[in-house]
Structure 1
Amino acid sequence: MTPEPNQLLRPSLYVGALVLPLLMSTSALAQSAGGDWSYKIAPYFWGTGLSGTVATSPALPPADVDASFGDIWDNLDFAAMVVGHANNGRFGFSGDLQYFKLGNSGPTPGPAYSSVDVAITNKIYSLNAEYLLKTSSTSEVWGSIGARYWSVDAGLNFSAGTSPAASARSKNTWVDPMIGVRGRTELSGDLYLVGWAYAGGFGVGSDSSFDLFGALGYQFTPTTSGIIGYRWLSVDREDGSFQYDVEMEGLMAGVSFNF
């Protein structure tokens, strides 16, 4: 479905209102601690598809959704992400604020309902401590350990079949421990590769969660670059009647600012 202007504006303001205080507090902390700190902020836009199983109520069946990459623009309401890094020498911190608003429709497995509409809003906040594992004149690899907070608001609207139409909505929140790596490798000229790989959950919040991203970047100026790449994010969470076992994937592009 095509997002309306007000659907785009509210999440953008929401993400911005979260990021600016985070950057201000990080800068104040670094100034008080002294040392040579460097910072990076990278806002991204992610055109993501959605596939998996979502359940919200024991009275209604789970909904299987499958939006392939080719269906991205038909199923995306809005997606935004802002990543920030602060590092001093071999030590650093990273933050990741994500907002996804997705919709999808599909058939149901039995005759009770003819189809189901799924509407999902995700708010995902991550904070990691990082250590520079390997560096050279052209590349660097950072190890990360931290936590990721999930807030999922899922609504299912079943169209009538042999049973009358029905709907249910459920909100679920949890925290996953996360570990992983991120890195950057310089190519020829102003081109470079950047990416990350994270795993989490481990039965603490979700049963499992994986986050993979790779992109090609171009350095426009010493402090500004642009990237375009692909991201795949999965999570498997069950909490009573709530089930959220999904994969989200698609092209992601953005601009990175160093200061």
Structure 2
Amino acid sequence: MRASDLAVAQPEPAPPIVPQLGWQFQATAYGWASALKGDAGVGRLPTASLDASFGDILKNLKGAFMGSFIARNDTFIFGVDLIWTRIGADGRFKVGGDGPFAALRSGTSVSFQQDQTIATAFAGYRIPIGPPNLSLYGTVGVRYQNINVELDLSHTTVLGTGLRRSTSDSTGWADPLIGFAATYHFNDKWYLNALGDFGATSSSNMTAQGLVSVGYNWTQSFSTALGYRVLYTDYENGNDRGGSFRYKSTLYGPFVSMSYNF
């Protein structure tokens, strides 16, 4: 008997994980531990600088809902994402110039409350590049935002007199989006999700988002993911009477999600 006859047959390499063809649906509920940085102004009040950690927001959180739904196959993807929050935070005024607030001392504080709805819808077409376990889609869509802001000013002037002024405004707008959505399957359990988008209607009105997460399929129907998300908004409107709504913010922080897949 020759030595070659004793050689043990080597197993063939396992094929790469290929996403299942056909329509797949995913309903997701998630929690986003976001912090807030930016500024806001309503009407004739000066712009208030905002800087709230997740702890600050959680302490003042009055309600929240976050969820998404995605349908995809080997060619197309469709998705919607909805965020509603009611939060409060404190800010500080940037006072300058010779206007009606010039007599205020620096360090003026403001009580800030915000109801915000962010609804995003997108559709995409798969880009046939990369390994078979990568699903990459180019996307177009729209993001609608509605913000109700209440500002309550309380301060003592240099003359020692008290000053308190409250104002509120609500506005909504939509921005067209272009972006991508990608899923990379490491194996039948672990996967990586990423998406990004950008939209603008003018140099002062724009939005952008980035998200990346690592997920685990516990069963064919249930999965969880942990990731990080950033959402930027810059919006301003005004009128010829001097009133305006000014809102610039960055929401950022980690998130955790639970998904039902079918």
Q: Above 0.5 in TM-score?
A: yes
Matches within 5 A, 1:94-109: 94-109=79-94
- Deviation of residue 69 (structure 1)? 5.2
Instruction: Name 1:114's counterpart in structure 2.
Output: 108
- Give the letter aligned to residue 114 of structure 1: T
51, 75, 78: which one aligns with 1:93: 78
Pick closer, same or farther for the CA change 1:90–1:253 going to 2, 3 Å.
Answer: same
TM-score by length of 2: 0.78
- Deviation of residue 72 (structure 1)? 4.9
Instruction: Name 1:231's counterpart in structure 2.
Output: 229
- Deviations 1:166-210, CA, capped at 9 Å, x for gaps: 111100111100111111112356222112111112429x62111
The answer to whether structure 1 residue 184 and structure 2 residue 183 are counterparts is yes
Instruction: Name 1:33's counterpart in structure 2.
Output: none
- Deviations 1:212-242, CA, capped at 9 Å, x for gaps: 1111111101121001111110110000110
- Give the letter aligned to residue 145 of structure 2: W
The answer to whether structure 1 residue 159 and structure 2 residue 154 are counterparts is yes
Q: Distance in 1 between matches of 2:259 and 2:132?
A: 20
Matches within 5 A, 1:1-259: 36-58=22-44, 60-68=45-53, 71-110=56-95, 111=104, 114-134=108-128, 136-162=131-157, 164-187=163-186, 190-203=189-202, 207-240=205-238, 241-259=244-262
- Give the letter aligned to residue 55 of structure 1: G
Pick closer, same or farther for the CA change 1:229–1:176 going to 2, 3 Å.
Answer: same
Structure with bigger helix share is 1
Query: What secondary structure does 2:163 align onto?
Result: coil
- Give the letter aligned to residue 137 of structure 1: P
**Which of these two proteins has the greater Rg computed from alpha carbons?**
2
Pick closer, same or farther for the CA change 1:181–1:218 going to 2, 3 Å.
Answer: same
Identical residues among aligned pairs (%): 30
- Deviations 1:137-159, CA, capped at 9 Å, x for gaps: 32211111011111111111111
**Is the contact made by 1:40 and 1:86 (CA closer than 8 Å) also made in structure 2?**
yes
- Deviations 1:74-122, CA, capped at 9 Å, x for gaps: 4544443211112344023111111122211133344357311111111
Q: Distance in 2 between matches of 1:233 and 1:208?
A: 11
Q: Distance in 2 between matches of 1:232 and 1:76?
A: 19
Query: What secondary structure does 1:192 align onto?
Result: strand
Bigger mean CA offset, 37-46 vs 64-73: 64-73
